[in-house]
């Protein structure tokens, strides 16, 4: 772009900020599916891998066993982790809708106006129809595409529903959460079922079932897998409610409280004990899915991704779920005032025996956003809010049983999964402005480079945008080992404790090796990638664990302006380096303020940020 174009862009930006002009959303060029010239079309559909995505909700760094905690056994998830690649520097966005939108588009949520607060029940907002989602591209490659569980990407028109956005079928809930048993949500003092079985845009219907939702999703996944025709590849996304809190009388809902109290009796805090029950049910469902894939002989050509959409809201009502981001700093959090006023009104409601509805939550949040915008935080950009547990397993991975310290972002899954599916360069074909990077060559081992060789020509991610939010405030960017954050005023504490203090002292390696997931992996014989040696498993676990790096005092670094951290040496974000390395801070700020491209406000009005520098904070 020459200087004249820069000037025109700047003038348009200033005018748009003043409301003098509106810049219409860009439209992607119309695409056509080729069947003879595209390299992707020459691939036999039967050879394309089945892709299974298991996305947990609000699960913290310390809530799966493979990161070093003995508090909540997760043998099935751990078996996948040790058989595949543990992504130890995987970053999400601060909240659910932005993360899910970025996952399915390969683009930052700010490009779609989805930064900040997720859509409320029935709010007329969602992923813009100009965006094409991952399942739409996979369908072009012959995939059968199924979604179970959470959507939360807009449903205010038929065109925004999952079955209009590339999924052949959808069974789940449109909004952000439901109750675990009756699958309802409250709006305008009315409770209704938000669970649907949609088979096409013109065939949508609510579905009533009182089964525990985690088990129900697993059951439907088993049925889909068993009925799937082997000659076609399958894309199956399980977007679990677990471990999101619900609006029920007990926000942390378990299938059988007596059994949970018995199994996790060593956990002293009752709500944390219930949370352990939620995670245990999630882990069991993972084992059922892997076993079903093995039974249907689909596992040998499958790729399984398991991750959380963001960190755990460890300390903040109303959706506090008692997850743990230990030892990382910060939470996935609601506002400072919201926490306190929620407690006050909760006491009034309890005295009058009334239920606080989702309308109450939204109204109170908006009220305090109005009176003090800079004091509010829907989510944090500290490591505890955005550095999430993630793994990928597949017999197609040549170099498995390892811990990757490469940067990985939620936007990377779009090009990475399309690459694994041999889709060809869809970004070039459709002129897509992707933020994600294809990491399949390094994940699969097909790049033939040393995993620790920084000089490799393989394309690796060197930087990522954590968040830009022009309304709420907290923002961050990461480049190599450095992380710049700014406008962080609340929730800068360290929440939760090391559950190993009161948990079983020995890690149950045998439980991992004999889990349903492990038994399913063993059926692959020559492609059985699960280590049999307990020492190797312990070594992987140690490598994936972040040791306690919390400060010994409560005099924490203040980042109301901005801070610079080396998150390789200092993952707990204790030492601000901005004065020690001012040149790095300035470089980061340039990259940050002049982020390449444009972003959309929630009201779909564009703000232009023209590109000035490719600096990566070094």
Q: What is the pLDDT of residues 372-425, one digit of tens each?
A: 333 333 368 999 999 999 999 999 999 999 999 999 999 999 999 999 999 888
Q: How far apart are CA 603 and CA 123, in angstroms?
A: 12
- DSSP assignment string, 281-346: HHHHHHHHHHHHHHHTT-GGGEEEEEEESS----S-SSS------TTSS--S---HHHHHHHHHHH
Q: How far apart are CA 18 and CA 166, in angstroms?
A: 37
Quick one: residue 605, left, alpha or beta (phi over 0 = left, psi -120 to 50 = alpha)? beta
pLDDT of residue 311: 93
pLDDT at residue 445 above 80?
A: yes
pLDDT of residue 117: 81
Residue among 132, 162, 34, 151 nearest 418 (CA): 132
Structure-block tokens of residue 150: 């959470």
CB 433 within 8 A of CB 597: yes
pLDDT mean over 551-555: 76
Q: Answer whether the bond into residue 243 is a cis peptide, omega within 30°.
A: yes
More confident residue, 246 or 340: 246
Q: How far apart are CA 382 and CA 216, in angstroms?
A: 34
More confident residue, 159 or 2: 159
pLDDT of residue 7: 45
Buried b (16+ CB within 10 A) or exposed e, 31-48: eeeeeeebebbebeeeeb
67 pLDDT band, cuts 50/70/90, is very high
Of 96, 559, 572, 588, the catalytic one is 96
pLDDT at residue 13 above 70?
A: no
Tell me if residue 228 is catalytic: no
Of 67, 90, 108, 152, the catalytic one is 152
pLDDT at residue 357 above 80?
A: no
Q: How far apart are CA 439 and CA 413, in angstroms?
A: 8
- Per-residue pLDDT of 26-61, as tens digits, reads 333 333 333 333 455 567 777 899 999 999 999 999
pLDDT at residue 481 above 80?
A: yes
Residue identified by tokens 């509106």 is 22
pLDDT at residue 274 above 50?
A: yes
Structure-block tokens of residue 81: 């982790």
pLDDT mean over 18-26: 38
CB 580 within 8 A of CB 605: no
pLDDT mean over 262-284: 97
Of the chain, the percentage scoring pLDDT greater than 70 comes to 76
Helix/strand number for the chain, H first, E second = 17, 19
CB 337 within 8 A of CB 375: yes
pLDDT at residue 342 above 60?
A: no
pLDDT mean over 458-469: 83
Average pLDDT, the chain: 81
Tell me if residue 563 is catalytic: no
Give Rg (Cα) of the chain. Answer: 23
pLDDT at residue 450 above 80?
A: no
Q: How far apart are CA 269 and CA 315, in angstroms?
A: 13
DSSP letter assigned to residue 106:
S
pLDDT of residue 448: 58
Q: How far apart are CA 611 and CA 618, in angstroms?
A: 18
- Full-model pTM: 0.84
CB 45 within 8 A of CB 233: yes
pLDDT of residue 541: 97
């Amino acid at each position: 772009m020459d200087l004249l174009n820069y000037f025109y862009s700047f003038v348009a930006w200033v005018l748009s900020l003043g409301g003098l002009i509106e810049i219409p959303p860009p439209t992607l060029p119309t695409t056509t599916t080729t069947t003879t010239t595209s390299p992707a079309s020459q691939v036999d559909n039967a050879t394309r891998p089945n892709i299974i995505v298991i996305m947990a909700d609000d699960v913290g760094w310390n809530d799966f066993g493979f990161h070093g905690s003995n508090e909540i056994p997760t043998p099935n998830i751990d078996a996948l982790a040790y058989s595949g690649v543990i992504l130890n520097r995987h970053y999400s966005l601060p909240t659910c809708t932005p993360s899910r939108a970025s996952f399915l588009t390969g683009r930052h949520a700010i490009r779609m106006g989805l930064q900040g607060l997720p859509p409320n029940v029935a709010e007329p907002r969602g992923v813009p129809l100009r965006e094409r989602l991952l399942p739409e591209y996979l369908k072009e490659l012959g995939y059968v595409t199924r979604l179970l569980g959470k959507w939360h990407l807009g449903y205010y028109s038929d065109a925004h529903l999952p079955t209009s956005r590339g999924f052949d079928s959808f069974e789940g809930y449109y909004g952000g959460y439901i109750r675990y048993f009756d699958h309802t949500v409250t709006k305008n003092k009315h409770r209704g079922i938000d669970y649907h079985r949609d088979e096409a845009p013109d065939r949508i219907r609510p579905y009533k079932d009182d089964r525990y939702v985690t088990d129900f999703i697993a059951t439907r996944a088993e049925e889909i897998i068993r009925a799937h025709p082997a000659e076609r590849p399958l894309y199956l996304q399980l977007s679990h409610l677990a471990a999101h809190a619900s609006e029920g009388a007990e926000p942390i809902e378990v299938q059988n409280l007596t059994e949970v109290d018995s199994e996790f009796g060593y956990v002293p805090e009752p709500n944390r004990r219930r949370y352990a029950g939620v995670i245990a049910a999630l882990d069991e469902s993972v084992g059922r899915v892997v076993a079903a894939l093995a039974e249907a002989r689909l596992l040998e050509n499958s790729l399984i991704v398991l991750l959380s959409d963001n960190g755990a809201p460890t300390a903040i009502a109303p959706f506090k779920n008692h997850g743990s981001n230990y030892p990382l700093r910060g939470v996935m959090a609601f506002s400072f005032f919201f926490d306190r006023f929620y407690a006050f009104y909760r006491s009034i409601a309890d005295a009058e025996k009334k239920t606080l509805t989702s309308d109450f939550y939204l109204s109170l949040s908006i009220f305090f956003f109005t009176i003090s915008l800079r004091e509010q935080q829907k989510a944090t950009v500290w490591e505890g809010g955005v550095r999430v547990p993630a793994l990928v397993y597949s017999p197609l991975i040549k170099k498995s049983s390892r811990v990757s310290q490469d940067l990985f972002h939620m936007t990377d899954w779009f090009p990475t999964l399309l690459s694994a599916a041999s889709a060809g360069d869809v970004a070039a074909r459709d002129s897509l402005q992707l933020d994600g990077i294809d990491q399949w060559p390094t994940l699969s081992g097909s790049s033939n480079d040393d995993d620790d060789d920084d000089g490799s020509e393989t394309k690796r991610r060197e930087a990522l945008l954590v968040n830009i939010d022009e309304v709420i405030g907290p923002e961050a960017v990461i480049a190599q080992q450095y992380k710049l954050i700014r406008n962080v005023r609340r929730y800068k504490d360290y929440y939760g404790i090391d559950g190993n203090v009161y948990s079983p002292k020995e890690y149950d390696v045998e439980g991992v090796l004999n889990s349903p997931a492990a038994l399913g992996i063993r059926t692959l014989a020559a492609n059985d990638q699960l280590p049999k040696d307990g020492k190797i498993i312990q070594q992987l676990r140690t490598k994936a664990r972040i040791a306690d790096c919390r400060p010994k005092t409560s005099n924490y670094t203040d980042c109301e302006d901005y801070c610079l951290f080396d998150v390789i040496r200092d993952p707990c974000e204790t030492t601000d380096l901005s004065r020690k390395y001012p040149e790095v801070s300035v470089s980061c700020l340039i990259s940050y303020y002049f982020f390449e491209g444009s972003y959309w406000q929630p009201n779909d009005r564009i703000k232009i940020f023209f590109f000035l520098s490719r600096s990566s904070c070094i």
